[in-house]
Amino acid sequence: MGLRLIFLGPQGSGKGTQASRLARLMGVPHISTGEMLRQAVADGTELGKKADAIMQAGDLVLDDLVVAMVGERLSQNDAACGYILDGFPRNVAQAKALDEVLETPLDGLVQLDVPHEELMKRMLLRAEQEGRADDTEEGISRRLAIYWEETAPLSDYYRETDRQVFAVDGLGGIDEVFSRVALALAVE
Ligand code: ADP
């Protein structure tokens, strides 16, 4: 199994946690567009200024801005032998743009499956614990709606274009889910 992977999963699926753990195990960078954008907002960069209000509303930042940010990140040395992308692509337009900028094609996609009710429960708990600006009930619902509408169809896009798609059950503890991810990718 190659090391160029996308992690796909709805908000609250544990995607960030699992992606970061897998990246550590495989010795490749974990690239989270949500984290990069939050950092840009905190640093007050041009990109951050454009993204701030959009993120707070739970909407997607413009494809062109995010694609440029990811393209730049993937051109850095540490991503030369692989990476785990988390939070990107989020729609088919971004997936196509990614295919165009990549010199070495993606190896595949890991998709974490968690039922909607469980997601709302986990997200509201996270909102209490972390107090992220976009973790209001409205923001969460908005992000989940966008996920089902625009992001979930990505697994079909990747299947149709002959990439491997590994669907993993995301219910259970962090270790339990990680074992499933590792088993699916045969990296244990
Ligand atoms: P969550 O998975 O909880 O939505 P993220 O940290 O992945 O959290 O993303 C937070 C916000 O950053 C998103 O709601 C969106 O506004 C913005 N964002 C992150 N990745 C992308 C992307 N690929 N395209 C557009 N906007 C993005």
| Structure tokens that stand for 38 in this block | 């939050």
pLDDT for 132: 82
Q: What is the pLDDT of residues 20-79, one digit of tens each?
A: 999 999 999 999 999 999 999 999 999 999 999 999 998 999 999 999 999 999 999 999
CA–centroid distance, 137 to ligand 1, in Å, is 16
Average per-residue pLDDT for the chain = 94
Buried b (16+ CB within 10 A) or exposed e, 32-41: bbbebbbebb
Quick one: which atom of ligand 1 is closest to the CA of 134?
Answer: 14
Query: Sorting pLDDT into bands at 50, 70 and 90, what band is 1?
Result: low
Calculate what percentage of the chain has a pLDDT beyond 70: 98
pLDDT for 131: 83
- How far CA 84 is from CA of 36, 62, 149, in Å, comes to 14, 22, 23
pLDDT for 2: 63
Q: What residue's CA is closest to ligand 1, atom 12? A: 34
**Ligand 1 in contact with 119 (CB < 6 A)?**
no
pLDDT for 80: 94
pLDDT for 15: 95
CA–centroid distance, 166 to ligand 1, in Å, is 22
